Amino acid sequence: MFINNLLSTKPPLLRYFSSLEPRILKTGDILRQTRIFSSEDVVEYSKVSHDSNPLHFNSESARNAGFDDRLVHGMLVASMFPQIISSHFPGAVYVSQSLHFRLPVYIGDEVLGQLQAVNVREMKKRYLVKFSTKCIKNGELLVLDGEAMAFLPSLAME
């Protein structure tokens, strides 16, 4: 999903682009995708990360720690950021990411991952792009934010 100049009052220019014309990433552009994490996702992520923190598997442990129920792993939620970048820019190379976990994500929550390009710089035939990154759940609650930097092989979006 791609929104150009979200805060502008002008109609979005990209609406009039032909589907054959590449969409070129610019400062201010926003990339978004939503996802709902399932119980199976938590199990599969735990297997590959070897992270078996009881907060993810045992509702009572999660409630004892002050949560409503067992949590989705924060780093699995954060994996949305490089996933969204690489889905639009295959071959992107991740440089950095900061993550502030603000609120829990529970199984079944609808999570919107959103990246906004805040700086675009050409470097050695590649593009170093700084994104502000956030995840919002159930349409309103900020659960995770931070910043990402990635080298993109091109600014043309897939």
The site for a second copy (CB under 8 A) is made up of 35, 41, 44-45, 47-55, 61, 64-65, 73-76, 78-79, 82-83, 86-87, 90-101, 153
> Which token pair is 128?
């170093």
Nearer Cβ to a second copy (3/149): 149
d(CA 58, CA 121): 46
Angle, vertex CA 23, rays to CA 21 and CA 29, nearest 5? 160
Residue 36 CB, nearest distance to a second copy (Å)? Answer: 12
Residue 78 CB, nearest distance to a second copy (Å)? Answer: 7
Residue 100 CB, nearest distance to a second copy (Å)? Answer: 5
Tell me the one-letter amino acid at 111: V
Residue 21 CB, nearest distance to a second copy (Å)? Answer: 23
Backbone angles phi, psi at 119, to 5 degrees: -160, 135
Neighbours of 94 (CB within 10 A): 13
Nearer Cβ to a second copy (4/143): 143
